[in-house]
Chains A and B, each alone.
Chain A
Amino acid sequence: MPPSSPSASEFQLRVYQELKQIARMLFRGQPKNHTLQPTALVHEAWVRLIGEQRLDPSSRLRFLSVAATAMRNLLVDHARKRKSKRRGGDHQRTRLEEVVAATEDRIDLLTLDESLQELANLNSRMGRVVELRFFGGLTIQETAEVLEVGTTTVENDWAAAKVWLTRSMGRGLSDD
């Protein structure tokens, strides 16, 4: 029996709930894992939902587009908490914290979030492309489908947005 097709807001709510649940599991979870990409968490959620037949496989893109935003919020919230707390040395990091830490080795999440918001103010589609690609792990093709634009549009958005964000995050030439 195929799962019924839920309404958009109902769907969104369900994805958020599911990600929250997965995040809880990750908070308990073991550190030192080799999949430390935010997108891995999103896909883990997807695999689980499909495995448990709680979502229709055909809803994958809808799921990813919602989950990308949710993952961004989750990680940024966590990075914020992490900054304000700065816990002691023997604190055993949870997996989510490991993901935040591994991501922050490359990019400061809070700065990225801020820069991304600025970019979205200038060009909302570019902002969305970055969110989908970076936090959701969507391919160019998938991103194009979600946004209902051509792949070339996404490619160009992505290329320009990366450069823009890198500069605006103050990373790059002068730092390296």
Chain B
Amino acid sequence: MTDGRGEHSSSGADDDQRVLELLRQACALPADERESFLQSQPDGELRETVQRLLAYEPSADQFFGESRVFPGHEYLGMVGPDSREPVEWKGPKRIARYEIVRLVGRGGMGMVFEAIQDAPRRRVAIKVMSSAFPSDTLRQRFEQEAEALGRLQHPGVAQILEAGTCEFDLGTHPFIAMEFVEGQPLTVDADRRSLDVRERIALMVKVGEAVHHAHQRGILHRDLKPDNILTDPLGQPRVLDFGVARLVESEEFSPATLTRSMEVIGTLAYMSPEQVTGSGQALNEASDVYSLGVICFELLTGEKPYDLHEKPFTEACLTIRDTEPRRLGDINASLKGDLQVIVNKALEKDRSQRYASAAELVEDLRRFLNDEPILARPPSTVYRVRKLMARNKALLPAILAITVAMVVLLARPTVLREDAVPGKLVLADPEHLERILEQWLVEADVAEVVDRVQKSEAWTAEEKSLALQILVKRWAASLEVEPADEPRIKTPRE
């Protein structure tokens, strides 16, 4: 603040205007031409003022740099949900060795053209990215990654043919040429052909296989959605844009979260919690598995697991991050059971709880088709209680009390049978029971002990009830007072 505003305001508004105009002229010049330009100014005082001002340029860029948010849209313009509207293409007629036939679509990432390759003569889709290359390093990376994508060959994946750059009005833009797939989006096609549940699952199996094939080669899709999966006339789903999202995703490439927020709005529903919250977690196979879960949900019900309708962007992100997804059975009761378990496993918020690979998801879908038992299990009581606990510590005693109540109720019918079990453990008194619990609590956390009590075949319903009451009391007490050096009850993990 030391060399503040006084130095120019003292000279009056007219002078300020002259300073500003000269500054503007100087700024318009390349850095190495400024000095000679300023030296040619007759007014020495004015010149010096501008020179002092120019010294602020680096910090000015720093302060205002962030407002330059749409680097890639200078040429293409911002694209709204109207991007499917047919637009007459008035730009260049050729891109590299491809002759443009028509503009197929526009999106935040760029434009897609149908084109004809010169030799061999074939139809291709050309995707021109809206971002021009800011640096040679990025261009190289783009070309390397595109080459890797080109090696990806699978009947379920639209083949990438070439990546390169083309000159458009405002600079050099990356483009990708890929096989032109004739077809309808997965969900649209399934509805049009009125496929039944099993036929739809069979489609998901094919999609999952294609995705797994790519995963095995270290390529994530990152943007799976029905619009990116076209079912060709032979009924084979073809996944488009494999790994393409990655090509344009980098700090330097699209620095603005904001730009992304515009682009992703349509595809948000298919993004995993780790993806929408930008938690900094690198995406992995399980992130694609999540998207497959959403697609499967939509394919079976026509709806999405979350109601994001009319929600602004950020709210929609939080919904995906924080709320439980709907279940298939909530929408169509006939879909309860295994399918619901499978889809919900794919949709788990905690990705370690999802299928670890697309292949595992495919395996369970196949088992469903073959009427074999699936591998996924509904989340265990332990897991569910722990999730509840993690979500709301203040409610812990209440949650446990409810769990206890449920356990007691559920346990009752089996008690009669247990009574007949010979040699069952007879627990003398509450103190004895407490000692046993204490022992268990050394080995496991409360949720697991609750589960163990619940599952115990040796205990009577009465004993179970008593045991769980003890646990609740202990737990409540442990919440009020920080556990001492030797906690009698382990508090749940964060």
A134 to B78, CA, bound (A): 17
The distance from the CB of A101 to the nearest CB of chain B, in whole angstroms, is 15
Contact of B265 among A47, A57, A163, A176 (CB under 8 A): A47
Cα(A143)–Cα(B13), bound, Å: 26
B314 at the interface (CB under 8 A from A): yes
Question: Is B310 in contact with A29, judged by CB distance below 8 angstroms?
Answer: no
B45-59 interface (Cβ within 8 A of A): 52-57, 59
Interface residue A72 (Cβ < 8 Å from any Cβ of B): no
The reply to whether B56 and A163 form a contact with Cβ atoms under 8 Å apart is yes
Q: Within 8 Å CB of B27, what residues of A? A: 156, 159-160, 163
- B-side contacts of A121, CB under 8 Å: 13
Contacts of A22-66 to chain B: CB distance below 8 A: 22, 25, 29-30, 33-35, 37, 39-40, 43-44, 47-48, 50-52, 57, 60
**B258, A35: Cβ atoms closer than 8 Å:** yes
B66 & A37 in contact (Cβ 8 Å cutoff): yes
The interface bits of chain B over 250-279 (1 if a CB of A lies within 8 angstroms of the residue's CB, else 0) are: 000000111001100100000000000110
- The tally of residues in A whose CB lies under 8 Å from a CB in B reads 55
Number of B residues near A (Cβ < 8 Å) is: 54
Chain B contact surface mostly: helix
A166 at the interface (CB under 8 A from B): yes
A160 CA to B24 CA in the complex, in Å?
A: 5
Shortest beta-carbon distance from B229 to chain A in Å: 24
Which chain A residue shows the least CB distance to B23? A160
List the A side residues contacting B55 at CB < 8 Å: 172-173
- Would you call A162 and B313 a contact (CB within 8 A)? no
A142 CA to B277 CA, complexed, in Å: 29
A27 CB → nearest B CB, Å = 13
| Nearest CB on A from B69, distance (A) | 5
Q: Which of the residues A35, A119, A122, A167 comes within 8 Å of B314, measured between beta carbons?
A: A35
B312 to chain A, nearest CB (A): 5
Contact A48/B69 with A159-B28, A163-B23, A173-B59 known, Cβ cut-off 8 Å? no
Q: How far is the CA of A122 from the CA of B77 in the complex (A)?
A: 31
Q: In angstroms, how far is the closest chain A Cβ from the Cβ of B474? A: 30
Tell me if A117 is interfacial: C-beta within 8 Å of chain B. Answer: no
The residues of B that contact A164 with a CB separation of less than 8 Å are 20, 23, 53
Inter-chain contacts of B265 with A (CB < 8 A): 47, 51
Tell whether, in the assembled complex, residue B1 and residue A30 are in contact, meaning their CB atoms are under 8 Å apart: no
Q: Is A128 an interface residue (CB 8 A)?
A: no
A167→B352 CA distance, assembly (Å): 52
**Which residues on A sit within 8 Å (CB–CB) of B82?**
57
Residues of chain B with a CB closer than 8 A to A162's CB: 57, 60-61, 63-64
Q: Across the interface, which residues of B come within 8 angstroms of A172, CB to CB?
A: 55-56, 59-60
Contact partner of A139 (CB less than 8 A), chosen from B26, B64, B73, is: B73
The 3 closest A-B pairs by CB, nearest first: A159-B27, A172-B59, A160-B24
Known: A50-B80, A160-B24, A166-B56. 5 other contacts (CB 8 A): A107-B63, A119-B20, A155-B28, A163-B56, A173-B3
Measured CB to CB, the residues of A under 8 A from B are 22, 25, 29-30, 33-35, 37, 39-40, 43-44, 47-48, 50-52, 57, 60, 95, 106-107, 119, 121-123, 126, 133-134, 137-142, 152, 155-157, 159-160, 162-168, 170-176
Pick 26 A–B contacts, CB within 8 A, sort by A.
A25-B315, A35-B313, A37-B66, A39-B69, A39-B258, A40-B257, A40-B258, A44-B313, A47-B312, A50-B80, A57-B81, A95-B314, A122-B17, A138-B70, A139-B74, A142-B70, A155-B28, A159-B28, A160-B24, A160-B26, A164-B53, A165-B64, A166-B56, A168-B5, A170-B4, A173-B59
